[in-house]
């Protein structure tokens, strides 16, 4: 693998692009990776930057590229559709087929409504719960990520968390009143959740949760107890599966953990690398999107110019076909377990106070030796050391975000070996 930057006789194109980006983009970036990282190409489990440097890719476009970049079957499906039209603002056979595939795969999904992003999917899932329950408040968990809507940006990443259940607003431009409509609890604390639901059951429209919150797995029994208490009071339970859908199992985290919510949201993998996401769930809740079935008072108005477009739909269908093949998930989990186990061993070898948390398809290192069960526990971590570690890895041809290793179907044993070698060197560097 080429991890060296080759000489460029015409000058460094990256510097020119960085300067151009600074002129036209706030902060010189799209708001994701650092401005100096400018990517050019993805192939399988690797990406390449504008300077020609090659990386083992554990970023995966923030998760969508689960079967690898430019997968030939996805590419062929998209190329076949392009001459036939890219969007129609109407039903098409591919979008209908993808909706049927979701219903067949995902335990809670009886009906599906397409949107273009996880943010939209989560927004409409919360809106559907409000329409169904005729209540306004949503309970969420501190540190849980549910997109970029006003409601989602309550207690996503508070620097100085306050007292539960009052949430804090994490972005400029959001009305302070939004926090009044959100009830915030600690992830993995079922006693707190039960208490809050009992106190506010007459005001709650729904509960939204990442069944696997960012990097933190649910404690044994937590999701089951959450399911029981919400069902007891008739409160819709929403699983945000934008990240975990089709990643932890073909049926998502709800299949993996054995708990079925009332609604879920899907994105990333299900669009095959294109802009497609979905809200899915019980038919009696989803019917609020049906103008003919609802009164004006109960109808949820939802349209999107590109929702369910055929290009994204065929990409999603091709991706799901790959995932259905025998051994696909077993391979991802085997590679993920090897990576997690080896990284844990290396941390012990080098005497570094850190731990590996997550599940085999999605994990990272947290630089603290204290137990991590919720968002506030992550604040104990040494983030400066984590940044140094990530930078040392990038210099050695490993691409990842600030947090999370996304393991891909396309990662090879050679990729795993290269990553382990990079970890060994990077840990020596930061000691």
Per-residue model confidence as pLDDT tens digits over 220-275 = 999 999 999 999 999 999 999 999 999 999 999 999 999 999 999 999 999 999 99
Secondary structure letter of residue 236 according to DSSP: P
240 a catalytic residue? yes
Asked if pLDDT for residue 8 goes beyond 70, the answer is: no
Q: Taking residues 343-350, what's their average pLDDT?
A: 97
Domain ranges of the chain: 1-51, 72-323, 327-400
Residue-averaged pLDDT of the chain: 95
Exposure string for 338-374, b = 16+ CB within 10 A, e = fewer? bbbebbeebbeeeebebbbbbbbbbbbbbbbeeebbb
C-alpha count within 13 angstroms, C-beta hemisphere, residue 312: 25
How would residue 175 be classed by pLDDT, with cut points 50, 70 and 90? very high
At 426, the pLDDT band (50, 70, 90 cuts) reads very high
3-class DSSP assignment, residue 77: helix
pLDDT at residue 383 tops 90: yes
Mean pLDDT to the nearest integer, 347-351: 96
CATH number for 327-400 (one of 3.90.226.10, 3.90.1150.10, 3.90.700.10, 3.40.50.10300): it is: 3.90.1150.10
> So what's the pLDDT on residue 73?
98
Confidence of residue 4 (pLDDT cuts 50, 70, 90): very low
- Give the side-chain half-sphere CA count within 13 A for 155: 29
Q: Is the pLDDT of residue 7 over 60?
A: no
Question: Is 145 annotated as catalytic?
Answer: yes
Strand partners for 363: 358, 405
Instruction: State the catalytic residue, choosing from 55, 124, 145, 329.
Output: 145
Q: Which of 53, 137, 140, 268 is catalytic?
A: 268
Beta-ladder partners of 115: 277
Say what percent of the chain tops pLDDT 70.
97
Name residue, tokens 């840990």. Answer: 427
Residue-level pLDDT at 9: 35
3-state SS class at 376: helix
Residues 6+ apart with CB under 8 A from 135: 202, 203, 204, 205
Q: Is the pLDDT of residue 179 over 70?
A: yes
Return the CATH class of domain 72-323: alpha beta
**For residues 393-409, average pLDDT:** 96
Q: Judge whether residue 202 has pLDDT over 90.
A: yes
Q: What is the pLDDT of residues 28-81, one digit of tens each?
A: 989 888 888 899 999 999 999 999 999 999 999 999 999 999 999 999 999 999
Give the tokens for residue 430: 């930061």
Model confidence at 10, in pLDDT bands (50, 70, 90)? Answer: very low
- The span from the CA of 286 to the CA of 314, in Å, is 24
Average pLDDT over residues 164-181: 95
Question: 11 falls in which pLDDT band (50, 70, 90)?
Answer: low
Considering 240, 374, 377, 415, which one is annotated as catalytic?
240
Higher-confidence residue of 99 and 29: namely 99
The band of 431, judged by pLDDT with boundaries at 50, 70 and 90, is confident
Edge-to-edge order in the sheet of strand 137-141 = 111-115, 277-281, 263-266, 237-241, 204-209, 137-141, 182-185
Residue 265's nearest CA partner among 119, 151, 135 is 119
User: CA dist 246 to 73, 180, 313, Å?
Assistant: 18, 34, 15
pLDDT at position 261 is 98
Once rounded to an integer, what is the mean pLDDT over residues 269-292? 97
Compute, in degrees rounded to 10, the torsion defined by CA atoms 158, 163, 166, 168: -20
Q: Please choose, from the candidates 30, 35, 41, 38, the residue with its C-alpha nearest in 3D space to the C-alpha of residue 13.
A: 38
DSSP H stretches of helix in 147-212: 190-200
Of residues 164, 168, 161, the one with CA closest to residue 184: 164
């Amino acid at each position: 693998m080429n991890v060296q930057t080759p000489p460029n006789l015409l000058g460094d194109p990256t510097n020119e692009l960085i300067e151009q980006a600074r002129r036209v983009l706030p902060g010189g970036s799209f708001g994701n990776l650092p401005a100096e990282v400018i990517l050019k190409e993805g192939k399988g489990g690797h990406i390449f930057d504008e300077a020609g440097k090659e990386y083992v890719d554990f970023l995966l476009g923030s998760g969508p590229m689960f079967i690898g970049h430019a997968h030939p079957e996805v590419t062929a499906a998209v190329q076949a559709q392009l001459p036939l039209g890219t969007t129609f603002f109407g039903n098409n056979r591919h979008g209908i087929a993808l909706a049927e595939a979701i219903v067949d795969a995902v335990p809670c999904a009886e009906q599906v409504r397409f949107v273009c992003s996880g943010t939209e999917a989560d927004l409409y899932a919360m809106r559907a719960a409000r329409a169904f329950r005729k209540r306004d408040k949503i309970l969420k968990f501190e540190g849980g990520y549910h997109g970029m809507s006003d409601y989602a940006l309550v207690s996503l990443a508070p620097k100085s968390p306050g007292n539960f259940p009052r949430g804090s607003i994490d972005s400029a431009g959001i009305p302070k009143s939004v926090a009044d409509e959100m009830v915030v609890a600690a992830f993995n604390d079922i006693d707190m959740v039960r208490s809050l639901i009992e106190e506010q059951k007459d005001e709650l429209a729904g509960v939204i949760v990442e069944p696997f919150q960012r990097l933190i797995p649910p404690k044994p029994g937590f999701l089951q107890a959450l399911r029981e208490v919400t069902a007891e009071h008739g409160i819709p339970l929403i699983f945000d599966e934008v990240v975990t859908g089709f990643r932890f199992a073909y049926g998502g985290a709800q299949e993996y953990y054995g708990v079925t919510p009332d609604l879920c949201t899907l994105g990333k993998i299900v669009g095959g690398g294109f802009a497609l996401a979905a809200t899915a769930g019980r038919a009696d809740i989803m019917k609020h999107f049906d103008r003919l079935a609802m009164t004006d008072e109960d109808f949820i108005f939802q349209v999107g110019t590109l929702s369910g477009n055929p290009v994204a739909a065929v990409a999603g269908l091709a991706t799901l076909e790959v995932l259905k093949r025998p051994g696909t998930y077993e391979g991802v989990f085997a590679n993920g377990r090897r990576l997690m186990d080896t990284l844990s061993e290396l941390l012990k070898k080098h005497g570094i106070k850190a731990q590996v948390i997550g599940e085999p398809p999605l994990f990272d290192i947290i630089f603290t030796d204290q137990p991590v069960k919720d968002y506030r526990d992550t604040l104990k971590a040494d983030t400066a050391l984590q940044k140094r570690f990530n930078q040392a890895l990038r210099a050695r041809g490993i691409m990842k975000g600030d947090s999370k290793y996304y393991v891909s179907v396309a990662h090879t044993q050679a990729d795993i070996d290269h990553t382990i070698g990079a970890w060994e060197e990077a840990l020596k560097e930061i000691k």
